Amino acid sequence: MSSLNLDDFSDLIERPDSGVRRDAEERRERLAVPPGALGRLDELGEWLSAAQGAVPVRAVERPRVVLFAGDHGVAELGVSGRAAGSAHELVRSVLDGASPVAVLARRMGVPVRVVDAGLDCDPDLLPEDVVRHRVRRGSGRIDVEDALTPEEAERAVRLGVAIADEEADAGTDLVVLGDLSVGGTTPASALVAALCGTDASVVTGRGGAGIDDLAWMRKCAAIRDSLRRARPVLGDQLALLTAVGGADLAATTGFLLQAAVRRMPVILDGVVSAACALVAQRAAFRAPDWWLAGQVSGEPAQAKALDRMALEPLLEHGVTVGEGTGALLALPLVQAAAALAAELPERPAGSGSDAGEATPAEAGSGSVAAGDGEAR
pLDDT of 322 reads 87
Phi-psi region of 198 (alpha: psi -120 to 50; beta: other; left: phi over 0): beta
pLDDT of 362 reads 42
pLDDT of 250 reads 98
pLDDT of 207 reads 74
Could you confirm whether 323 is annotated as catalytic?
Answer: yes
**3-state class (DSSP) for residue 291:** strand
Question: 321-337, pLDDT tens digit by residue?
Answer: 889 999 999 999 999 99
Other C-beta atoms within 10 Å of 259: how many?
29
Q: Please list the residues that pair with 174 across neighbouring strands.
A: 63
pLDDT of 351 reads 58
pLDDT of 177 reads 98
pLDDT of 348 reads 83
Q: How far apart are CA 157 and CA 4, in angstroms?
A: 9
Handedness of CA 98, 100, 103, 106 (dihedral sign): negative
pLDDT of 356 reads 39
- The set of residues, in sequence order, having a beta carbon less than 8 Å from that of 337 and lying 6+ positions away, is 38, 41, 42, 44, 45, 48
Residues of the chain predicted below pLDDT 70 = 1-2, 208-209, 350-376
Q: Are 256 and 280 in contact (CB under 8 A)?
A: yes
Active-site choice (154, 323, 357, 362): 323
Domains and CATH numbers, the chain: 6-58+339-375 (1.10.1610.10), 63-331 (3.40.50.10210)
